[in-house]
Amino acid sequence: MQLYLDSVDFKEIEAALDFGFIKGLTTTPTFMHRHGITDIDGAIVKLSGMVPELQVEALGDTPDAILAEAERLLGLPLEREPVFKVPISNEGVKACKRLTDKGHRVNVHLIYTLNQAYMAMEAGAAFICPLAGRMQDQGHDAIMLFEQCVDVIERYGYDSKVMFSSVRHAEHVRQAMLAGVHVCTMPFSVMKNLCENTLTAIGTAQFREHTALMTMRVKDVIRDSNPVCQTSETLNNAMVKMTESRLGTVTLVDKSGDVAGVFTDGDLRRKLQADGRAILDKKLADIGFSASPITIDRDALLNDAVRAFKKAQVDSIIVVDGKKPVGVVDVQDLIKLGLLGQEHL
């Protein structure tokens, strides 16, 4: 089943063509009016250069008038000849036969009965186009009509293709395929959601999560901020660096720059509550800190980081290169990646 877009919105058309397999574009004067297009001929010329096949309306009250409009359109500086859309009627099928005899292709549309479709087939229409949504709005069995049209074409060997149009939702597309139609033309609002499915989204998220766990390393997610204090610095200095980094921890190092401990916002609250503001000017070595911080190597897999967070139940882990601190991985970083749940906050 070939996929066509039903639109005159140039942004939508460009987005649909980006799929790479859209076979054509159907338009109507109604669409152009809704989108405020006043230079219809200019729009047709532009569209003819954008899409593999363009289908445009050739309106008229008589066969001669329809042919005259088709000839007028062919006189425009088109990139390629369009398919002419003609509403079903006695005059329409006469015009279809004459256009077809001249080597042009015609889409006979606004079809609502099998008899109408038969007349269009006999007239040599390249496309037979019932309108599913409009038929169903009136309580008719549109899908049965499409199935009947396909059956008649196959039974009698007509060259016409059945086009499923007036698509309202994704279910119409599924029904079109099962009915065996040759072409389905649809609005972009339906087309862009055909790949969407909740279970697919869940599965994709799981695959991404597991891929990240097995391929991404801690160094890929560590923060740019790396707040570090020597143990000889004051608590006030540690608090400033903690605030500037927007992290809840400061790595403490010795004179060699190796990791000596960690001081967290939790430690800060507990010290202030116990000893008051006077400790702000005291050295971290005198106040006390955790001398056994949890660390992880910068080249460790994220899977190792996740296990460390789950085991230690901490908010942040110091990232090291050997004994030197190179950054901090925060639990929120892994939550944002979907590798840990909110319960770890």
- The residue annotated as part of the active site, out of 85, 161, 241, 271, is 85
| DSSP per-residue string spanning 136-169 | HHTT--HHHHHHHHHHHHHHHT---EEEEB---S
What residues have CB less than 8 Å from 68, skipping those under 6 apart? 60
Token digits of residue 51:
């899409």
Looking at residue 131, the DSSP 8-state letter turns out to be: B
Element (H, E) at 330: strand 324-330
Residues 6+ apart with CB under 8 A from 168: 132, 133, 190
85 is catalytic: yes
- In single-letter form, the type of residue at position 116 comes to Q
Torsion of CA 223, 224, 230, 234, to 10 degrees: -90
Q: Which residues are catalytic?
A: 85
